[in-house]
């Protein structure tokens, strides 16, 4: 029999203390509860027999796009592997913090025992995460870490390190305009977001070593594809001396593809993040030069695997930073990534191997918080 240590708080009257049995199947999971009365807290253990199939987990995404679809597939794959139910939700407005928090709170109220959230507006997530933890819910974050929160782990990259890696890739690319004098435009879909701020800071730190380049301030490219396309169009028309554009979000690769379809004469060098199908197409068609991947499937799979190993299998609680790593994709190697990013079976096969080689056992493979930099 597999056991899970989940703390449930039940407020009852002293004269009517009862424990409810759930379901009538053969029990697979034992839930340990703390029963609170109106006059005192009883710390004795009461066992409630529950099938693990009756447990619910959750995952809350911030924007609907191919990147978060990959996160969703990873979370659902982990749940399938462990035989539990998960509900993955995403905002309709795209990046609307209050809508995302409402979705999170609704899953907590629904009775999830573990939940992962992309904490896009980090400061806004401190209280909702704490409220969930106070109710006995295990909480992790992915893609964006809510620093200062009580989430047990974070699955995602370090923005600063990503920026440094991207900067090195540009400086070492023979196609980069190293000897040209001109302006480098830096864009971010959420300026001020710690992980994206770290990404642009790390990138600017590297690019600033080239005295030929005038590095711009960080401009807001927005959290939507249409307005991202408009940003690059307006920026190009307003900056004829522009020799390079660097975007920091998933919309930039697809956006630059559409923009350069309209303006084929715009031959400035472009680097961006995330391996969206249209972004990879931009590499294939030589409308972009470098894209960096950050393992969204792993950002979905790893935090859920960590929860399941602890709650279902009784293994140590995973605490710290699960780093999926960064992948530099160029025009030269883009074909190696096309199938994985456009075929779900190839995606699963690829990441199954990565998980087996790099993340088992998960509680021993995470990095300490001291190594994480936004």
pLDDT in tens, 211-259: 999 999 999 999 899 999 999 999 999 998 899 999 999 999 999 999 9
Q: What SS3 state is found at 175?
A: coil
374: closest CA among 206, 160, 149, 166?
160
Question: Is residue 208 in a domain?
Answer: yes
d(C-alpha 14, C-alpha 9), whole Å = 15
Q: Where are the beta strands (DSSP E) in the chain?
A: 9-12, 29-37, 41-50, 56-61, 85-90, 114-117, 138-142, 153-155, 182-188, 213-220, 242-246, 269-273, 290-293, 320-322, 327-330
Task: Please give the model's pTM, rounded to 2 decimal places.
Answer: 0.87
Question: Is residue 371 in a domain?
Answer: no
d(C-alpha 147, C-alpha 117), whole Å = 13
d(C-alpha 233, C-alpha 228), whole Å = 9
Residues of the chain with pLDDT under 50: 1-3, 5-28, 30-46
Q: Domain containing 281 — which CATH number? A: 3.40.50.2300
Does one domain contain both 149 and 114? yes
Count how many domains the chain has.
3
Question: Is residue 372 in a domain?
Answer: no
Q: Which domain holds residue 13?
A: 9-51
d(C-alpha 145, C-alpha 141), whole Å = 6
How many other CB atoms are there within 10 angstroms of residue 96's CB atom?
17
Q: Where are the beta strands (DSSP E) in 158-222?
A: 182-188, 213-220
Does one domain contain both 224 and 167? yes
d(C-alpha 104, C-alpha 59), whole Å = 8
d(C-alpha 90, C-alpha 208), whole Å = 37
144: closest CA among 62, 58, 248, 57?
62
Does one domain contain both 303 and 253? no
Q: What is the pLDDT of residues 295-323, one digit of tens each?
A: 999 999 999 999 999 999 999 999 999 99
Per-residue confidence (pLDDT) for residue 49, from 0 to 100: 59
Does one domain contain both 201 and 222? yes
Question: Is residue 2 in a domain?
Answer: no
Question: Is residue 310 in a domain?
Answer: yes
Does one domain contain both 165 and 287? yes
Question: Is residue 259 in a domain?
Answer: yes
């Amino acid at each position: 029999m597999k056991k899970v240590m989940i703390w449930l708080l039940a407020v009852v009257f002293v004269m009517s203390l009862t424990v409810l049995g759930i379901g009538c199947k053969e029990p697979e999971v034992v839930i340990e509860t703390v029963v609170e009365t109106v006059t005192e807290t009883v710390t004795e253990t009461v066992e409630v027999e529950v099938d693990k199939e009756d447990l619910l987990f959750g995952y809350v995404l911030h924007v609907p796009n191919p990147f978060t679809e990959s996160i969703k597939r990873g979370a659902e794959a982990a749940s399938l592997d462990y035989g539990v139910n998960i509900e993955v939700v995403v905002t309709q407005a795209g990046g609307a913090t209050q809508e995302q928090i409402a979705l999170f709170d609704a899953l907590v109220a629904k009775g999830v025992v573990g939940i992962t959230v992309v904490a896009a507006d980090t400061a806004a997530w401190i209280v909702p995460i704490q409220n969930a933890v106070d109710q006995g819910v295990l909480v992790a974050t992915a893609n964006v870490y809510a620093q200062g929160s009580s989430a047990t782990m974070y699955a995602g990259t370090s923005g600063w390190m990503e920026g440094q890696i991207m900067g090195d890739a540009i400086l070492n690319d023979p196609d980069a305009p190293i000897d040209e004098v001109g302006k480098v435009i830096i864009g971010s879909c959420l300026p001020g977001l710690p992980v994206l701020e770290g990404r642009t800071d790390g990138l600017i730190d590297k690019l600033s070593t080239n005295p030929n380049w005038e590095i711009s301030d960080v401009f807001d490219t927005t959290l939507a594809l249409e307005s991202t396309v408009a940003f690059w169009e307006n920026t190009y028309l307003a900056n004829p001396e522009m020799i390079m554009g660097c975007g920091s979000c998933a919309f930039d690769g697809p956006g630059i593809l559409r923009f350069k379809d309209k303006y084929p004469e715009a031959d400035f060098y472009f680097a961006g993040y995330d391996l969206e199908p249209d972004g990879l197409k931009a590499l294939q068609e030589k409308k972009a030069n470098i894209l960096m991947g950050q393992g969204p499937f792993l950002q979905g799979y790893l935090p859920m695997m960590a929860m399941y190993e602890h709650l279902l299998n009784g293994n140590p609680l995973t605490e710290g930073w699960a780093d999926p790593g960064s992948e530099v994709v160029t025009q030269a190697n883009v074909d190696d990534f096309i199938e994985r990013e456009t075929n779900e079976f190839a995606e699963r096969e690829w990441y199954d191997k990565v998980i087996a080689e790099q993340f088992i056992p998960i509680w021993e493979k995470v990095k300490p918080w001291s190594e994480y930099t936004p």
